[in-house]
Amino acid sequence: MLNVAFLTLSSSFCSHNDLALRLRIHHNNQLSKINLTHLTRVATDISRLRAAYILCGAQDMDAVRLTLEQIDVIRRICTEYPDFELRTGATVAFLNHENMRKIACLISIEGGHSIDSSLPALRMFYQLGVRSMSLTHSCNTPWAESSTNYYKVFVRPNNSLTTFGKAVVDEMNRLGMIVDLSHTSSETASAVLSHSKAPVIFSHSSSYKICNNSRNVPDWLLHKLKNNRGLIMVNFYSPFISCQNEATVSHLADHFDHIKEVIGAKSIGIGGDFDGGTSFPVGLEDVSKYPVIIQELLKRKWTEEELADVLRNNFLRVFEEVEKVRNNLSWKKPSEEEIPLKEVANKCRLELKQPILQELVSNQSPSFKAKGLNLLFLALALLFSFFP
């Protein structure tokens, strides 16, 4: 999965939006045939914002190609529409008053299966502008564990973050790419929080204490997140908010209140998940309704300073600290860590070795085998004819 985070430069940051996925599903990424200012069948368009997702089934198949195609459509959105501006760093450009009416785009990969267990692929995605990646989606990768068990793949007892998984986190720290723990198991999240040199985020997760869904974060992990100086960005999807298909704005605000009580407002952000989920609290059905939750939190005595942190400042602080770690690691060379082939267990991977003629012949039809052998004998006869 590939998604884009939007920052309206004059107001707030909203993490995790799967608009790019809906453009693929409904319009086959053909931007020339749609008007992104006003879209139907989705919760996001330019007019509502004014107020790179690849399914797990692609693992071991064409996930890298599909991810590249989603990066392409997001980059096109962010360059062809004057309302958007592609951002690749936590620089003062976010505060450039000349661009206050722009909507900034940050490209994020959802699901480590998109890199096909390849650190060079991870680095190339960074070169294309990707600045965040969640380690899993709804399936395990060969090196990290998902919070859900929809797919019975890469099941490893007592090994939620492998040696290669730690290498992925290290390389993301070195690059300055934000590590996203939404969708990971609590054990994987805990291992990453103990290992990462940089702050991490849960880009779209809520409180397990309020709704005991496996996609949410328990209090003991929230404490580790605070020690990491990371961020939990609250998801708006109803089943994660009320543990039912329907929810209210009050249910959602309860998550903000509880997380604030446990680790403070400076560790909280807006997660959204519009166009990823299908059911949202009444009154919060699309991206134009963000002010509704702000009004509810103001009623609950949240201060304007706290809300400014939640809406914008907390994420920018995390991004800046991630880049500070990158700068401190500038002496490190790109990692050459490779995952063992037996751990990948991917039939589509080519083992780089010279083919043996006998193996080539044995894999062909009987008629081809006979012709192949005849050609071999003919070649040998010609060779020896030159040496009487």
Q: Which tokens sit at 194?
A: 């103990």
Q: At CB < 8 A and 24+ separation, what contacts does 26-33 make? A: 29/69, 29/70, 29/72, 29/73, 31/73, 31/76, 31/77, 31/80
DSSP string, 97-121: GGGTT-EEEEEEEE-GGGGTT-HHH
Q: Which residue has the tokens 């996925």?
A: 21
Q: Which tokens sit at 47?
A: 């007019």
| CA 244 from centre of chain | 25
CB 121 within 8 A of CB 71: no
- CA distance linking residue 275 with residue 252, whole number of Å: 18
**Nearest alpha carbon to residue 34 among 68, 81, 66:** 81
**How are beta strands 13-17 and 2-8 bridged, if at all?**
antiparallel
Active site residues: 16, 18, 110, 137, 183, 204, 273
